[in-house]
Structure 1
Amino acid sequence: MTSFLEAWRHRPTHRQVWSLAMPMMLSNLTVPLVALVDSTVAGHLPQTQDLGAVTVGSAVYALPVWSLGFLRMGTTGFAAQAMGSGDNSALRTVQAQALLLAAVLGVLIGALMVPVLPWLVGQMHSTPLMTGRALDYLHLRLLGLPAALLNYALAGWFIGAQRARTTLTLLLVTNIVNITLNLLFVLGFGWGVPGIALASVAGEWCGAIYGLWRTQQVVRHLDGHIDWQAMRGWDHWRPLLMVNRDIFLRTIALEAVFFSLSLLGARLGDATVSANALLFNGLMLTAFCLDGFANAVEALCGHAIGAGDQQALRRALVVAGGWALIGSLAYALLFGLGGHLFINLQTNLPEVREVAYSYLPWLTALPVIGVWSYLLDGLFIGATRAREMRDGMLVSVMFYGLLLWLTRGLGNHGLWLAFIAFMAMRGLSLAWLGLRIRQRRAWVM
């Protein structure tokens, strides 16, 4: 308890946590804003198929982008450890590796997706006209895939280098260009659905160009050099690729859980699936805040591990964990007292409202239960221990599947019980793995 209080009272760590967490919270808030503008602009086009085409196209485009999020997470840990050890050559090399990997994957996966786009869009069972417009959208949208992945790598490197404000600026450039050109191309020039796609592509490339320019400014002040000779060998790529492989598998498993929630919820009726969608918006709202503290943990814990500083590692976990707990309790209070208002702001359909009200207790409990999985993900990302993250996720998914089967007679309450238990198991499994690593004194070598 004494060491815990000493860590909590360390004011410099509080300042470090907030200097990293706040920009990331603001960055997260820009994501739904862009989606809102896209749907709003498409919703004002003359044909109803236009909005559907953008919705379907965005969902298909999100598949490779979200699945390749390991480019951000994997880069953060290696960059944070290189910075903590004071090895500027390693910091430069990590950046070069991440950008090269992002560029290659962006071109390769973009090319591979083109022939399968008709099949992917066909799975949405849209009308022929909507399908045609969605394909037009996607053929243009894929031009921005390399830039989107470069932005992941750039954001991960900036977070690891404790430059979260630059990450915020990178996302602001991307999203402001996207929003501005959306209005210009669609409402000004009348380009319709292709205009929405081109605005998104331009935003992603402007963000990537800005990010590359900022990296040049940062590395100009660093000594050392990129180890091109080492990058030619497999041994230098193996750690990054292995970490990214495990994070990718972990992400696919997580996607499977959310897909199953949508699929099983849809079988319970239109009102139930609509109510669940409103409640899961509450989950996304909590993630905007709590993920900011997880990002701070990634950078600070990775830095402490790279520096071999056990005390700094403890301080980062205690301070970020304390603030994340306070944030989760605040969200629980918000949903507990204002849950009905939160639902009412999203819909005026009486049937959907009544169904959503009955499941509000699950949403109220979710922030306090889920916060620990976010924080511990940050610790393992900063430590580049993706294998343990993968194993913890797979155990949690199997536990979730077992509970789904056991509670199949409870309807939507069974679905929510299984999901809450899945979030709890994510935290518990990572905590158990973390304690085992601590017992071996292996967090800080």
Structure 2
Amino acid sequence: MSQTTATAAGVASPRRIASLALPALVVLAAEPLYVLVDTAVVGHLGRVPLAALAVGGTVLTLIAWLGTVVAYGTTGRSARRFGSGDRAAAVAEGVQASWLALGVGVLVALGMQVVGGALARTLVGGPGDVAAAAAQWLRIAALGAPGLLLAAAGNGWLRGIQDTRRPLLFVLAPNLLSALLCPLLVYPAGLGLIGSAVANAVAQTLSGGLFAAALVRERVSLRPRPRVIRQQLVLSRDLLIRGVAFQASFLSATAVAARFGAAAVGAHQIAVQLWFFTALVLDALAIAAQALIGAALGAGDDVGARALARRIALLGGACGVAFAVLIAAGAGVVPSWFSSDPGVRDQAMVAWPWFVALQPLGGVVFALDGVLIGAGDVRYLRNLTIVAALGGFLPAIWLAYGLDLGLGGIWAGLTLFVVLRLVALLLRLRSGGWAVVGAVR
């Protein structure tokens, strides 16, 4: 075995992958857990504030999704530079990504001051107490958008240089502070719903500031480089289009489920949210793949990168099997945690076998998504997602509606979507066309 292959095999050990994936999982889970705390605090204010938080939080989730796009695009590019032995250049990628994130964040923050009211009324379906409260919450919370996106870019470049400790601290500490600050501002300080928005903005701004300070401490040039920012924009564009295809597909699935009645859409919501949760956990493995694959290709080790990709795919499948066993064992119990309605639980059992079967397939797909993002093969992922959505998922779920196939037809469509992606990803993995070596792609 050559020295480079031996090194890559060591890098690809399960312990090394876990050392990147587990901190990433904690970072991924921090924001959803904070949202749960925020919801619990605001929920005691009454129905209107809770509804307003739901509306404003949905918009903020979309902003956070933009941050994920920036983070994923940065990780692969930074990891390639790091793998080539040029740590300063890897950090420089983070500088340019941070300028991009800051610019977008400022635009979002300013934009919400102008269109926040109209957006809230559109989501609610017209003017009223909920729309007014949601607009007020959104205008204040959006002030944290620059910090939120700066933190996303920071996560990207720090993962690229395989530093998992600082992102953990820079995300957890502000979220813990905000979780303590939120009830204090909402109740003793008497700010009500506004207190929730302030706590949110403070947490995001503090987190972004910590990541920005980490860049300054690296002592690299902080000057914007438009050419690099344009390259990152192209990468982010492809990831964004891919994400839109996902969003359109799952929104359509919910719309079709609603046409089968309240019990069907309720059961679909339970199953799909659990699917998203398992995807979140498996996404941590994909993030480890991005960093390790990018570093291997940056070092010129295409043989090691291919070996690493195969190992990550097997680990993804193994995690998926573990989830499948747990979910199958919980079939008679888990749906009752979310609904006491017998009709909803019966409908959940229609989707459950598909949900279980999807876990091993999804585990491999998510892992290979991370491999190709780390390799910079994002255009292929974009095109694959569009083709699988337009040629598989969307026709299948609307056919399920036309033929009255119920929730089983919808989940059969989701399975087709995953299978199409799995086959195409395995073919791409086998071809080796993704394994392009060098500091950048």
Task: Name 2:235's counterpart in structure 1.
Answer: 243
Amino acid at match of 2:86: D
Runs of 4+ in 1 over 6 A off after TM superposition: 6-9
Amino acid at match of 1:95: G
Distance 1:15 1:154 in 2: 24
Whether the 8 Å CA contact 1:92–1:226 is kept in 2: the answer is no
CA deviations 1:307-365 (Å, max 9, x no partner) are 01123313422332222222110110011111221112222222222221222111111
2:395 corresponds, among 393, 397, 402, to 402
Task: Name 1:313's counterpart in structure 2.
Answer: 305
Whether the 8 Å CA contact 2:112–2:138 is kept in 1: the answer is no
CA deviations 1:227-279 (Å, max 9, x no partner) are 84xx5453x33322211111111111111112112222222211111111111
Aligned-pair distance for 1:156? 0.8
Task: Name 1:324's counterpart in structure 2.
Answer: 316
Task: Name 1:170's counterpart in structure 2.
Answer: 170
Task: Name 1:392's counterpart in structure 2.
Answer: 384
Whether the 8 Å CA contact 1:404–1:414 is kept in 2: the answer is yes
- Taking the TM superposition and a 5 Å limit, the aligned residue runs for 1:138-287 are 138-217=138-217, 219=218, 225-226=220-221, 228=223, 232=225, 234=227, 236-287=228-279
1:411 partnered with 2:406: yes
Whether the 8 Å CA contact 1:7–1:318 is kept in 2: the answer is no
Aligned residues, how many? 430
Aligned-pair distance for 1:127? 6.2
Aligned-pair distance for 1:69? 2.6
TM-score, normalisation: structure 1: 0.90
Task: Name 2:3's counterpart in structure 1.
Answer: none
Aligned-pair distance for 1:172? 0.6
Task: Say which SS state the counterpart of residue 436 (structure 2) adopts.
Answer: coil
Aligned-pair distance for 1:78? 0.7
CA pair 135-12 structure 1, distance change in 2 beyond 3 A: closer
Task: Name 1:364's counterpart in structure 2.
Answer: 356
CA pair 330-7 structure 1, distance change in 2 beyond 3 A: farther
CA pair 307-372 structure 1, distance change in 2 beyond 3 A: same
- When the two chains are superposed, the root-mean-square deviation of aligned CA atoms in Å is 2.3
Distance 2:398 2:199 in 1: 45
1:303 partnered with 2:298: no
1:421 partnered with 2:411: no
Aligned-pair distance for 1:441? 7.9
Whether the 8 Å CA contact 1:77–1:298 is kept in 2: the answer is yes
Whether the 8 Å CA contact 2:87–2:161 is kept in 1: the answer is no
CA deviations 1:149-183 (Å, max 9, x no partner) are 11110111111111123222222123212211112
Aligned-pair distance for 1:86? 1.0
Which range moved further: 315-324 or 361-370? 315-324
Whether the 8 Å CA contact 1:243–1:385 is kept in 2: the answer is no
Task: Say which SS state the counterpart of residue 332 (structure 2) adopts.
Answer: helix
TM-score, normalisation: structure 2: 0.91
Which range moved further: 61-70 or 96-105? 61-70
Task: Name 1:58's counterpart in structure 2.
Answer: 57
CA pair 303-140 structure 1, distance change in 2 beyond 3 A: same
Which range moved further: 380-389 or 308-317? 308-317
1:80 partnered with 2:79: yes
Distance 2:61 2:258 in 1: 21
Distance 1:30 1:337 in 2: 27
Task: Say which SS state the counterpart of residue 91 (structure 1) adopts.
Answer: helix
2:342 corresponds, among 320, 335, 350, to 350
Task: Name 1:3's counterpart in structure 2.
Answer: none
Aligned-pair distance for 1:115? 2.9
1:110 partnered with 2:102: no
Task: Name 2:93's counterpart in structure 1.
Answer: 94
Aligned-pair distance for 1:126? 6.1
Which range moved further: 109-118 or 15-24? 109-118
Task: Name 2:284's counterpart in structure 1.
Answer: 292
CA pair 414-385 structure 1, distance change in 2 beyond 3 A: same
Which range moved further: 301-310 or 109-118? 109-118
Amino acid at match of 2:25: M
CA deviations 1:278-329 (Å, max 9, x no partner) are 1122212212321111111000000001001123313422332222222110
Task: Name 1:137's counterpart in structure 2.
Answer: 137
Instruction: Give aligned-pair identity as a percent.
Output: 30
Aligned-pair distance for 1:76? 0.4
Task: Say which SS state the counterpart of residue 401 (structure 1) adopts.
Answer: helix
